């Protein structure tokens, strides 16, 4: 009955208010009907009818008081230099472009200053919205369409041939969603960052002289479930090469629980959104702790920002790393862990608290297409 209501565009009793956008439904559907796309389309209908909740402004780079704008108050001088370079460099046709991404932007120290950047020209374009990845996940399909068109114009204007997104989600959007769902075909070659990393490690170009001997568990993000899970194994192989022992959570790969970020689209209350997100994050941490692992590893920048904020608010002790930090440590590079992460988590908590207060006095809003 619920699926029939979704197909007919009738009111949903459960799905649209409880879905965490985790993509698992595509694996579970016995008819292989990919119901996730149907859910996104109905959320898009609701967005066109009522707009986005006021709190959502903080993750919209075209809105005032967004998280990237407010973060400038908290950035160190070194972080400002990195971000200024990444945001203002105009790629040349011969450049191999590395897309830093909106959420890694919040933690530039994850990769800033690393030898891993020597192979690329790092680019940080906030107005590319991660290729529209999280807009797509929120169900804002019309806006994601505009972003797809915008990114094509950028890439074509630069004349670059090779683009390497840090996120699997962005790689998936450019390779699959843009051309197949949005009819926006890119001429560039998109290389998966984890594929590239494994190739360089195996070739001996990137050496890992400091195996970590660390017990870890892996958070498989929502987008990792795209394309029948082709994104799951590379991070695990990378962690093993870095000397990590992997202890899987009860729910992993196709069954993996959302970090909490994906709860946003199903929320109907502005204030309750924060508590719903934290409730999901708590489930993730409880599963991670049950494994006995010393560290929780994410290979998604968006999940890292949510996991660190929730770690501090929930008072959790398990370490949280981006997979790039694991590689850097195995390379022998020094990172200022956990100090930088703890500080940034509280910076982000302060920003969200500020925006939450503002949102009490704001109405739902629509993302203006001419601002995308």
Distance of alpha carbon 174 from alpha carbon 152, whole angstroms: 9
In the prediction, which pLDDT does 5 show? 86
In the prediction, which pLDDT does 266 show? 87
Distance of alpha carbon 323 from alpha carbon 339, whole angstroms: 17
More confident residue, 286 or 263: 286
Tallying the residues shown for the chain, one arrives at: 372
Find the largest Cα–Cα distance for the chain: 58
Residue 269: which pLDDT band, with cuts at 50, 70 and 90?
confident
Contact 42, 12 (CB under 8 A): yes
pLDDT average, residue stretch 217-233: 96
pLDDT digits (tens, 9 = 90+) for 280-336: 999 999 999 999 999 999 999 999 999 999 999 999 999 999 999 999 999 999 999
List the single range of 191-205, 259-273, 334-348 with lowest mean pLDDT: 259-273
In the prediction, which pLDDT does 139 show? 92
Residue 32 has pLDDT above 90, yes or no: no
pLDDT digits (tens, 9 = 90+) for 76-108: 999 999 999 999 999 999 999 999 999 999 999
Helices 301-314 and 272-290, axial angle in degrees (round to 10): 90
User: How do 319-322 and 189-190 pair as beta strands?
Assistant: unpaired
In the prediction, which pLDDT does 264 show? 82
Question: Mean pLDDT for the chain?
Answer: 95
pLDDT digits (tens, 9 = 90+) for 208-223: 999 999 999 999 999 9
Contact 242, 208 (CB under 8 A): yes
In the prediction, which pLDDT does 267 show? 84
Residue 370: which pLDDT band, with cuts at 50, 70 and 90?
low
Strand blocks (E) in 302-370: 319-322
Residue 369: which pLDDT band, with cuts at 50, 70 and 90?
low
Task: Provide the 3-class DSSP secondary structure of residue 357.
Answer: helix
In the prediction, which pLDDT does 4 show? 87
Closest CA to 213 of 237, 242, 189: 242
Question: H-helix or E-strand containing 137?
Answer: helix 133-138
Residue 234 has pLDDT above 80, yes or no: yes
Contact 53, 364 (CB under 8 A): yes
Please state whether the peptide bond connecting residue 210 to the residue before it is cis, i.e. omega within 30 degrees of 0.
no
In the prediction, which pLDDT does 372 show? 66
pLDDT average, residue stretch 39-54: 94
Residue 123 has pLDDT above 60, yes or no: yes
Residue 219 forms beta bridges with which residues? 298
- Percent of the chain whose pLDDT exceeds 90: 89
Chain-centre distance for alpha carbon 120:
21
User: How do 214-219 and 244-246 pair as beta strands?
Assistant: parallel
In the prediction, which pLDDT does 178 show? 98
Distance of alpha carbon 193 from alpha carbon 164, whole angstroms: 6
């Amino acid at each position: 009955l619920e699926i029939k209501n979704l197909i007919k565009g009738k009111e949903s009793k459960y799905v649209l208010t409880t879905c965490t956008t985790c993509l698992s439904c595509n694996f579970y559907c016995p008819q292989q009907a990919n119901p996730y796309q149907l859910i996104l389309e109905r959320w898009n209908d609701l967005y066109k009818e009522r707009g986005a909740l006021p709190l959502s402004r903080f993750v919209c780079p075209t809105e005032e008081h967004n998280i990237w704008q407010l973060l400038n108050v908290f950035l160190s001088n070194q972080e400002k230099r990195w971000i200024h370079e990444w945001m203002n460099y105009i790629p040349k046709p011969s450049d191999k472009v590395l897309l830093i991404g909106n959420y890694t932007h919040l933690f530039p120290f994850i990769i800033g200053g690393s030898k891993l950047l020597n192979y690329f020209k790092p680019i940080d374009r906030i107005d590319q919205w991660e290729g529209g990845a999280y807009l797509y996940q929120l169900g804002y399909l019309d806006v994601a369409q505009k972003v797809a068109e915008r990114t094509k114009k950028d890439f074509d204007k630069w004349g670059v041939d090779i683009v390497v997104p840090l996120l699997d989600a962005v790689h998936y959007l450019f390779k699959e969603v843009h051309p197949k769902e949005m009819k926006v075909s890119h001429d560039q070659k998109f290389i998966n960052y984890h594929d590239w990393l494994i190739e360089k490690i195996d070739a001996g170009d990137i050496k890992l002289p400091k195996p970590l001997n660390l017990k870890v568990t892996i958070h498989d993000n929502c987008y990792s479930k795209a394309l029948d899970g082709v994104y799951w194994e590379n991070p695990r192989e990378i962690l093993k090469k870095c000397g990590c022992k992997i202890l899987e959570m009860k729910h992993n790969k196709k069954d993996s629980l959302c970090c909490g970020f994906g709860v946003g689209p199903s929320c109907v209350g502005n204030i309750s959104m924060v508590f719903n997100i934290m409730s999901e994050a708590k489930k993730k941490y409880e599963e991670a702790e049950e494994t006995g692992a010393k560290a929780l590893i994410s290979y998604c920048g968006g999940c890292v920002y949510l996991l660190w904020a929730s770690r501090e608010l929930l008072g959790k002790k398990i370490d949280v790393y981006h997979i790039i930090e694991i590689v850097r440590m195995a390379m022998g590079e020094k990172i200022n862990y956990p100090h930088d992460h703890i500080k940034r988590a509280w910076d982000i908590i302060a920003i969200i608290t500020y925006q939450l207060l503002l949102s009490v006095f704001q109405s739902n809003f629509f993302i203006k297409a001419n601002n995308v």
